[in-house]
Structure 1
Amino acid sequence: MSIAHQTAKSDPTSSAAGSTNRSDDFGAAALVDELRRSFDAGRTKSYAWRVEQLKGLKRMLSEREADILEALAADVGKPRLEGYSTEVAYTMGEVVQALKSLRSWMEPDRVSTPLVVQPGQSHIHKDPLGVVLIISPWNYPFQLCVGPLIGALAAGNCAVVKPSEVTPETSALLSQLLPQYLDPSCVKVFEGGVPETTAILEQRFDHIFYTGNGKVGRIVMAAAAKHLTPVTLELGGKSPCIVDAEANLDVAVKRIAWGKWSNAGQTCVAPDYVLVHRDVHDAFVRKLCDTVRDFWGDDPQQSKDYGRVVNARHHQRLMKLMDSGDIAIGGRADEADRYIAPTVLTNVSPDSPVMAEEIFGPLLPVLKVDDVDAAIRFVNERDKPLALYVFSENESVGREVMERTSSGGAAINHTWMHLAVHDLPFGGVGESGMGAYHGKASFDVFTHHKSV
């Protein structure tokens, strides 16, 4: 069905565009009111409606794959295979699982009833929350928008989707496609920058789902507090990678390189730095540099499989971190092409600028540690990361790291792989976020579990 979409964009030349004046809310209040009426009418609650929306997303992924990949390439320079695997195929997996499992997710759970209230029965009902807001980031601008939306629709909610203004082609495509494939009276796309985001956050929602950095996460949480709105914050941080003396280095370097330099390092769970046992440090660095050449050639700028930094501002930020250590490989850059080579930094001080913030780019510091205990202490002295990785052929080392550290998620002898398991909830802890989603957890985060 072809239905006109509803979006809001600011005119950068107008005074309202640079203001948070409530006199111009860019249509945010009216948009939310319309969704509230649709929800109150009971439109979204049936199993049939939910399945129709999920099937619509499935058709969209299949029919508009080429358009999605083209937008991703234009916005973030994402290679075609990488865009397909991490954005289209991954999202399709989430939709397929939701369609397969939705009926069981919706069923009330029966719990045991104590003798004192017999012959009554006790159940947990799964009620939709109402009208929810999803604010998505620029690094995976399609998957991190549609992924949470799958959970919101499966749970029977109306939703406002706010794509990132940093990726305008993907934002415009979502604004075009979602009203074509979903119920436009229950799903709205709200485009724009800071003024529009401020306006939409002033509205009352039943849940806000935000993916991005901690600074904006605090702003979202403060706005939600005015209405006592619950939030899910998918943030980030410096995800460490520990390489033990007993690690299989040939395997470790390939999996770390893939996890780090996919999407040019702009992934919230990418290894941010590596702590390597000093006995294998030099061999690890040598093999890692060889792997970079094997994966992307002597000149990764010419590789069709290597991505780009999102914009000039982030390019400049990353270049300021380049002097934090000795360059073992990489270091070359081309701001006009938004290119920074896969770069390995050695002899990095723990107090250097590259260790003071989430890198979110293709720079990888490698630091020596005396043993696993020293690596664990190093990790625990810092904020809890979104992900943590450990490489060792000694199973007891992996168990020890898992038991003595706290992180949103973790993997042993690989990177990212916990995200590939849809039944594993994904989320942060502490500074790396709150709440979780993926699979049934996506349904649950947008559901009120009502005791009856």
Structure 2
Amino acid sequence: MTVIEGGVAASTALLALPFDHIFFTGSPAVGRIVMAAAAKTLASVTLELGGKSPTIVGPDADIRQAAAWIAFGKFANAGQTCIAPDHVFVHASVKDAFLAALRERIRRAYGDGAASPDLARIVNDRQARRLSGLLRDALAKGARVTLGGAVHDCNMSPTLIEAITPEMDIDHDEIFGPILPVIVYDDIDAVTHQINARTKPLALYVFDTSRARINAIIAATSSGSVGVNLTMAQFTHTGLPFGGVNTSGIGAAHGHAGFRTFSHERAVMINRYSPLPMIFPPYTPRVKRLIGLFKGILG
């Protein structure tokens, strides 16, 4: 095993080598570069990418459970994980109860927010500026901060925002940080339509106690994975494949799926007795009769 450290130059040089397989985790934009480079050497690829993983809180959700899991999934590592809930759709009938429970859970976990020792920092200044820019753009276009919003260098408090519209950058860009847009809905079909109108997410989370409603949402959408009444945990289960679909990734890893990803299933056949020489040319009348017999046996 060889480990090579470096940035873009090192990665570009590695991609030019004739590997059998390339495994990449990162953004869809860089994933396209990796796939294009792999095509030059006909290397196969596994791409674990990202996207805007939506979360749905249904009318019959366990509100305290939903708040606890969503707060954990969204603010673990300050939201800088590829399967963090990007935004949450909450049914109008439970919106107030959910937001109250979510705020209480965030305060219990992180206290005053940005200064909390239990909240990770934004990875670098560039990403902190990007997140600040997303928030400023949303606020300038009519969004409201209902919790948090404080940014101090690379410290950003858990932030809840509402009144998101399609004109805002945060409605399109993967957030990858501790900002959670909350979107109220009445019609679940409108929610699944909005999810399907976008690029396919790496993860989809559904909180509800109605199995029929959960199954309907799963059937109506496409995503790399689904978490029901939980977040993030599907990534850790070694019995489940982990990967995306379309713009959120290609292929899967973890557990047996990972073994197959990094292996080649090579067929090996040994001739102990094969009847095929009986129908080798020249095609005499006898050989033709045998071919007809074989065709009849094979259907």
What TM bracket, shorter-length normalisation?
Answer: 0.7 to 0.9
Q: Tell me what 2:6 maps to.
A: 192
CA distance in 1, matches of 2:221, 2:232: 17
* TM alignment of 1:97-176, pairs within 5 A: none
CA contact (8 A) 1:244 1:392 kept: yes
Deviation at 1:282, TM superposition (A): 2.3
Structure 1 residue 241 and structure 2 residue 22: aligned?
no
Matching of residue 213 in structure 1 with residue 27 in structure 2: yes
**Secondary structure of 1:314's match?**
helix
Shift of 1:250: 1.1
Matched letter for residue 216 of structure 2 = E
Aligned to 1:260: 74
Residues 389-425 of structure 1, C-alpha deviation per residue, up to 9 Å, x if partnerless? 0111111111111111100000111111212210100
1:319-347 CA distance string (max 9 Å, x none): 01113121110100111xx1010000011
Residue 331 (structure 1) aligned to one of 146, 149, 161: 149
Runs of at least 5 residues in structure 2 that lack an aligned partner in the other structure: 269-299
Does the aligned pair in 1 maintain the 2:82–2:176 contact within 8 Å? yes
Deviation at 1:361, TM superposition (A): 0.4
What's 1:289 paired with?
103
Identity %: 47
* Separation (CA, whole Å) in 2 of partners of 1:397 and 1:417: 21
Q: Distance in 2 between matches of 1:289 and 1:441?
A: 38
1:384–1:390 Cα change, 3 Å: same
CA contact (8 A) 2:54 2:89 kept: yes
After TM superposition, give the deviation of residue 296 of structure 1 in Å. 0.9
1:318 aligns with 2:131: yes
Of 231, 242, 245 in structure 1, the residue corresponding to residue 45 of structure 2 is 231
Kindly provide the amino acid, as one letter, of the partner of residue 106 in structure 2: V
Deviation at 1:286, TM superposition (A): 2.1
Separation of aligned partners in 1, 2:6 and 2:227 = 36
Structure 1 counterpart of 2:232, from 416, 424, 434: 416
Alignment of 1:70-85 (within 5 A): none
Please give the residue correspondences for 1:397-408 in structure 2 after superposition, counting only pairs within 5 Å: 397-408=213-224
Note closer, same or farther for the CA distance 1:350–1:244 as it changes in structure 2 (3 Å cut).
farther
Partner secondary structure for residue 275 of structure 1: strand
CA contact (8 A) 2:73 2:84 kept: yes
Amino acid at match of 2:251: G
Q: Which residue among 247, 253, 258 is the counterpart of 1:431? A: 247
CA distance in 2, matches of 1:213, 1:413: 26
Q: Which amino acid aligns with 1:332?
A: A
Paired with 1:301 and 1:377, the residues of 2 have a C-alpha distance of: 35
What's the counterpart of residue 270 of structure 1? Answer: 84
> In structure 1, what is the Cα distance between the partners aligned to 2:167 and 2:90?
17
Task: Give the superposition deviation at 1:302.
Answer: 3.2
Partner of 2:222, secondary structure, is coil
Letter in 2 for 1:435: G
Aligned 8 A contact 1:260 1:272 in 2: yes
Q: Which runs of 5+ in 1 are unaligned?
A: 1-186
| Counterpart amino acid of residue 356 in structure 1 | H
Does the CA contact (< 8 Å) of 1:244 and 1:371 recur in 2? no
* Distance in 2 separating the partners of 1:249 and 1:262: 20
* Separation (CA, whole Å) in 2 of partners of 1:246 and 1:220: 43
Contact 2:114 2:150 in 1 (8 A): no
1:235–1:433 contact (8 Å) kept in structure 2: yes
TM-score, normalised via structure 2 length: 0.86
Q: Which secondary structure does the structure 2 equivalent of 1:449 belong to?
A: coil
Structure-2 residue corresponding to 1:81: none
Q: Equivalent of 2:179, from 328, 342, 363?
A: 363
Q: Which residue of 1 aligns with 2:281?
A: none
- State the distance in 1 between where 2:189 and 2:47 align: 31
Secondary structure at the aligned position of 2:190 is classed as: helix
Per the TM alignment, residue 268 of structure 1 is displaced from its structure 2 partner at its CA by 0.4
Letter in 1 for 2:144: D
The CA deviation at 1:283 is 2.2
Structure 1 residue 280: Cα displacement: 1.6
What CA distance in whole angstroms lies between the structure 1 residues aligned with 2:74 and 2:114?
17
Match of 1:445 in 2: 261
Q: Give the SS at the match of 2:227.
A: strand
Measure how far apart 1:376 and its partner are.
Answer: 1.1
How far apart in 1 are the matches of 2:170 and 2:69? 22
